[in-house]
């Protein structure tokens, strides 16, 4: 069982594509679940792995611009605090 500070770090730094897309209102939680299920089905059937963004685009649930926005947020560098002056 993870401690509280560990959960806080995970929530802050380990966000996933589906979570961000849902938070921004691009897809619903049900669509994220369906996309993940499709991803797992592909993997289990030895079909090529597809990223969630690809699945959402193919189903016309997200536009290329929305996918780009989510990816930008997902991979942005965390902001470092200003150094203190001595």
pLDDT score of 77: 63
pLDDT digits (tens, 9 = 90+) for 39-53: 999 999 999 999 999
pLDDT digits (tens, 9 = 90+) for 8-59: 555 555 679 999 999 999 999 999 999 999 999 999 999 999 999 999 999 9
Q: For residue 71, with 0-12 CB atoms within 10 Å meaning exposed, 13-18 middle and 19 or more buried, which class applies?
A: middle
Counted domains in the chain:
1
Please answer whether residues 62 and 56 qualify as being in contact, where contact means their C-beta atoms are separated by less than 8 angstroms.
yes
Question: Has residue 8 been placed in a domain?
Answer: no
Q: Which domain holds residue 33?
A: 15-75
pTM for this model (two decimals): 0.73
Question: Has residue 7 been placed in a domain?
Answer: no
Question: Has residue 83 been placed in a domain?
Answer: no
Question: Has residue 51 been placed in a domain?
Answer: yes
**DSSP-derived secondary structure letter, 45:** T
């Amino acid at each position: 069982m993870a401690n509280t500070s560990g959960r806080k770090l995970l929530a802050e730094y380990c966000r996933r594509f589906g979570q961000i897309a849902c938070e921004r209102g691009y897809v619903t939680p049900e669509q994220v679940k369906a996309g993940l299920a499709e991803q797992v089905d592909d993997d289990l059937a030895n079909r090529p792995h597809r990223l969630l963004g690809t699945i959402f685009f193919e189903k016309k649930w997200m536009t290329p611009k929305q996918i780009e926005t989510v990816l930008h947020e997902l991979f942005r560098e965390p902001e470092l605090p200003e150094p203190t002056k001595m």
